[in-house]
Structure 1
Amino acid sequence: MHSITYRITGLMFLLVAITVAGLTYLANWQMENLFQDYLQTMQIGIQEGGRMMVGVIGLPEKEFLASVHEALIWVGTGILIFGLFVSHALARSITVPLLKLNSAVEKIARGEFGQKVDINAKDEVGKLAAAFNQMAEILVANNQLRQRLLADIAHELKTPLAVIQGNLEGMLDGVIEPDKEQLQSLYEETIQLNILIKDLRDLSLAEAGQLRLEKQPTDVNQIIVRASGMLKPLADEKDINLVNELGELPNISVDAGRINQVLYNLLTNALRYTPQNGIIRVTTRTEKVDGRDWVVISVEDTGSGIAEQDLPYIFNHFYRADKSRTRASGGSGIGLAIVKQLVDIHDGRVFVTSKLGEGTTFKIYLPAYTQDSSFL
């Protein structure tokens, strides 16, 4: 009796049985009392007419009452049987979808992702099924992202390690002369490898909410000027016009180093995809949204742009619209993921709009309040 079907069926049947029994009892009691009253009334009428009848209920009357009782029994039995079938059908309409959900959950627990339940009801069970199907889709997407993440990490680590290993083997075999130029090349590869590992560590800590921020009142415009100055030689090398249009901003509570990392990632990304004689424009302003004051930083370029189908995934780990995966076409693919995580842990928001062939704009919203504190 642990099944919900049996419990609901039993409960509904018990309610119907009690109702039928009560109605039958009341009907019999009322019938006998009313019939007795009728006969007594008839007896009084006959006495007043001058005649006297002996007996109250005769054989015809008993047969009539028996037929009424029998009819009530048949009707009550029919209602009980009907109630049993109806209650069982009602119970199954609830429990069968739940059994489907339970079966799908067990398969997901075994690692069989992508399970869906075909339940089109509009009630609470239908809503639960819709939520389950949505969860299953998210699990499939997350599992695919996890698999791709592992493959991408292996790919990104493999390149510098392969270069280092190949050069060292060549030196050991006497094929490559261990001169300063070769050692410099190996040193640069180790730097790239170290940067990648550091970025992965920061990203994992930020996603886990364990990246420590050293917040203090900061002028964001100064961070932008410093980051732009660092990248100005690269912009000049490609004949790209790097423009700052900075509005008057209040000092806000941020980790200056992390915000500098955000801007550096966005600017290097813009430089990578902006062609010669292009423009990269960084603007700042204050804006009130939903009753809150925000500092808004925009990084706009006239680069190649991002396809509409790629925009929802642009902040995912290692996601790049260019699937060639060569270093000439882009970096490690986690720069924008780090941008989003660092902005998120500052209680901010980051948005991207883009059009192929026209350019891309990233907008960062940071809360415009000052709080001199550190937190995890």
Structure 2
Amino acid sequence: MNSITYRINGLMFLLVGLTVVILVYLAEAQMTGLFHEYLTANEAYGPGGLTGAEGIIMGLPEQVFLASVHRSLIWVGLALIVAAFGASFALARSITIPLRKLATAVEQIEKGNFEQHIAVESQDEVGHLAMAINRMNDALNQNNRLRQRLLADVAHELRTPLSVIQGNLEGMLEGVVDINQTQLSSLYDETVHLNRLIKDLRDLSLAEAGQLLLERQLTDINQLIDKVVHMLEPQAEEKAIVFANHLQPVPAVLVDAGRINQILYNLLTNALRHTPRQGQISITTALTTEAGQQWLKVTVADNGTGISAEDLPFIFNHFYRADKARDRRSGGSGIGLAIVKQLADVHGGKVTVESTRGLGSSFAVYLPVA
């Protein structure tokens, strides 16, 4: 009796049955009373008549008529009850069958089968629930694919430097590879890359989980930009790239200086990587107001290769590279921009990007001004 079908059907049957019984009872009582009044008024007598409780004499035809009326009322009442039972059962099943389909789909989703799609057959509450479950399933399916891709990408990124380190060490142990300054320096570079990758993954996971601790202090963003630009100038000089700073006087903001430094470093190294020789990278700071909130806007723009419209929505995803031909040496690990987005988010800010293929890209970081 826990089924909604039985409960709805039982409730409808009880209501309709009670209504029919009351109507039949009132109809019989009314018919009998009116018939007695008719006989009294017309003093109807007939052969074989009987005297009723009120002294009214009813003949056989009258008794047959009343019995026929009573039988008709009973049959009509039974027919109404059966019709009500059928209608309530059909109504209950029209509700419970879609709910059972939804329950089956949810059970499959619980087991990890995200290829479910529920047909939306109505626009009522059940239909809206089906659409909501479909959207939830699509989101879970997408997250599951991203998780699988993330695990595969992490394994690939970790396996590459480890394979290099293992191969060199095995060669050294077997005497095939000479132990010299060049080989040791190469191994050191691989361990540094591996350590940086693991640290970036840890920071990214903490930021996404909302557990990244920030050491906030009033910070002059313009000074941070000058330091990062000065640190990257040797790399820019190798490609004859010019840094153009357009730093306006802006107030100090309450941020984690180390994390903001990481944002600037990732954006500028990304711009250096995609800007051709003798190109230009401009860094701009300004105050702007959006939705009643004042923001400090840091813009990093280049005149490099740009990003296609197809790749632009995924540029902040983990391990995503617009140029699939790039390896980790030439294209980075693929998590730099993901870290930028997460670090901006944990500061209560945001990051946006505008880009045109072949003309360059412009990344803007918004930090709230207290």
Tell me if TM exceeds 0.5: yes
Alignment of 1:10 with 2:10, yes or no, is: yes
Bigger shift: residues 122-131 or 109-118:
109-118
In the aligned structure 1, how far is the partner of 2:213 from the partner of 2:121?
47
Tell me what 1:363 maps to. Answer: 364
Tell me what 2:121 maps to. Answer: 120
Q: Are the structure 2 counterparts of residues 365 and 41 from structure 1 closer, same or farther at C-alpha, using a change threshold of 3 Å? A: farther
In the aligned structure 2, how far is the partner of 1:238 from the partner of 1:58?
122
Bigger shift: residues 55-64 or 106-115:
55-64
How far is 1:144 from its partner? 1.3
Residue identity opposite 2:363 in structure 1: F
Tell me what 1:353 maps to. Answer: 354
How far is 1:120 from its partner? 2.5
In the aligned structure 1, how far is the partner of 2:62 from the partner of 2:17?
29
Tell me what 2:169 maps to. Answer: 168
In the aligned structure 1, how far is the partner of 2:253 from the partner of 2:19?
71
How far is 1:78 from its partner? 2.0
Tell me what 1:224 maps to. Answer: 225
Is residue 28–residue 69 contact of structure 1 (8 Å, CA) maintained in 2? yes
Tell me what 1:51 maps to. Answer: none
- Structure 1 gaps of 5+ residues are 44-53, 370-376
Q: Are the structure 2 counterparts of residues 28 and 187 from structure 1 closer, same or farther at C-alpha, using a change threshold of 3 Å? A: same
Residue identity opposite 2:6 in structure 1: Y
Tell me what 1:234 maps to. Answer: 235
How far is 1:39 from its partner? 4.3
Q: Are the structure 2 counterparts of residues 69 and 310 from structure 1 closer, same or farther at C-alpha, using a change threshold of 3 Å? A: farther
How far is 1:186 from its partner? 1.0
How far is 1:56 from its partner? 5.3
Is residue 97–residue 119 contact of structure 1 (8 Å, CA) maintained in 2? no
1:199-244 CA-to-partner distances (Å, cap 9, x unmatched) read: 1111111112111100111222222222222222222221222222
User: Sequence identity, in percent?
Assistant: 60
Q: Tell me which of the two structures has the higher relative contact order, counting C-alpha pairs closer than 8 angstroms and 6 or more residues apart.
A: 1
How far is 1:330 from its partner? 0.7
Alignment of 1:154 with 2:155, yes or no, is: yes
Is residue 317–residue 335 contact of structure 2 (8 Å, CA) maintained in 1? yes
1:7-57 CA-to-partner distances (Å, cap 9, x unmatched) read: 1111111111112122222222333333444444556xxxxxxxxxx8354
Alignment of 1:143 with 2:125, yes or no, is: no
* Aligned residue-pair number: 360
How far is 1:102 from its partner? 1.5
In the aligned structure 2, how far is the partner of 1:245 from the partner of 1:58?
115
Tell me what 2:98 maps to. Answer: 97
Bigger shift: residues 214-223 or 227-236:
227-236
SS at match of 1:350: strand
Tell me what 2:47 maps to. Answer: none
SS at match of 2:91: helix
Q: Are the structure 2 counterparts of residues 308 and 68 from structure 1 closer, same or farther at C-alpha, using a change threshold of 3 Å? A: farther
Q: Are the structure 2 counterparts of residues 163 and 72 from structure 1 closer, same or farther at C-alpha, using a change threshold of 3 Å? A: same
In the aligned structure 2, how far is the partner of 1:104 from the partner of 1:145?
22
Residue identity opposite 2:29 in structure 1: W
In the aligned structure 1, how far is the partner of 2:236 from the partner of 2:121?
57
Alignment of 1:272 with 2:273, yes or no, is: yes
How far is 1:74 from its partner? 2.3
- Structure 2 gaps of 5+ residues are 44-54
In the aligned structure 2, how far is the partner of 1:179 from the partner of 1:248?
51
Q: Are the structure 2 counterparts of residues 56 and 268 from structure 1 closer, same or farther at C-alpha, using a change threshold of 3 Å? A: farther
Q: Are the structure 2 counterparts of residues 37 and 238 from structure 1 closer, same or farther at C-alpha, using a change threshold of 3 Å? A: farther
Residue identity opposite 1:353 in structure 2: E
SS at match of 2:285: strand
Query: How big is the alpha-carbon RMSD for the aligned residues of Structure 1 and Structure 2?
Result: 2.0
Is residue 322–residue 329 contact of structure 1 (8 Å, CA) maintained in 2? no
Tell me what 1:85 maps to. Answer: 86
Bigger shift: residues 310-319 or 66-75:
66-75
Bigger shift: residues 141-150 or 230-239:
230-239
Residue identity opposite 1:246 in structure 2: L
Residue identity opposite 2:289 in structure 1: K
In the aligned structure 2, how far is the partner of 1:245 from the partner of 1:164?
43
Tell me what 1:372 maps to. Answer: none
Bigger shift: residues 260-269 or 113-122:
113-122
Is residue 299–residue 361 contact of structure 1 (8 Å, CA) maintained in 2? yes
Q: Are the structure 2 counterparts of residues 35 and 217 from structure 1 closer, same or farther at C-alpha, using a change threshold of 3 Å? A: farther
Q: Are the structure 2 counterparts of residues 36 and 361 from structure 1 closer, same or farther at C-alpha, using a change threshold of 3 Å? A: farther
Q: Are the structure 2 counterparts of residues 5 and 232 from structure 1 closer, same or farther at C-alpha, using a change threshold of 3 Å? A: same
Alignment of 1:289 with 2:290, yes or no, is: yes
